[in-house]
Amino acid sequence: DRVKEALFGRIQFELREKCILDLFAGSGALGLEALSRGAREAVFVDHDEGAERAIKHNIAAAAMEERAVFIKNDYANAMKLFQNKRKFDIVFIDPPYASDFYGPAMRGLAEYGLLSDGAVIAAESGAPLTIAAWGYALEKQKRYGKTFLSFFRWKEE
């Protein structure tokens, strides 16, 4: 809860009418919170069947069906589907902490042209992230217990 509070405290003034991508969505809590705080729409991506059930249930319970889309796919294939079709303003990246998905996910977002200029990428991880390539600038990184919360800004070159 502290991490989620810190995350939304940091981006609260950037949510209004924005398009959100919630990669590794799990329960969909981050994307739904963004919608409840004024985001225009959220796309949820997860390949797990349990996550699919949870996300669909939570979207319906929050009455957000008109502004939420769930895509059952792994993150890499989902990003390929969006290529030249979607631009996102805020991206949440919260894979299993022991995974090595952070770099490939951020590279894919950049390579497939999925980010609007000035997009914010918020990543939760179990260790500090040091991704300083592909047009990203690390704006802030803070530790909350065992969780690191990192904010990157995308700047089109």
Q: pLDDT class for 47, splitting at 50, 70, 90?
A: very high
Mean pLDDT of 53-70: 97
Measure CA 57 to chain center.
19
Q: Up-side HSE of residue 37: CA atoms within 13 Å toward CB?
A: 20
Mean pLDDT of 108-136: 89
Q: How far apart (Å, rounded) are the C-alpha atoms in residues 4 and 45?
A: 19
Lay out the sheet containing 136-144: strands in order across: 68-72, 41-46, 19-23, 88-93, 115-125, 147-154, 136-144
Q: What letter represents residue 41's amino acid?
A: E
Strands 41-46 and 115-125: unpaired
- Its pTM stands at 0.94
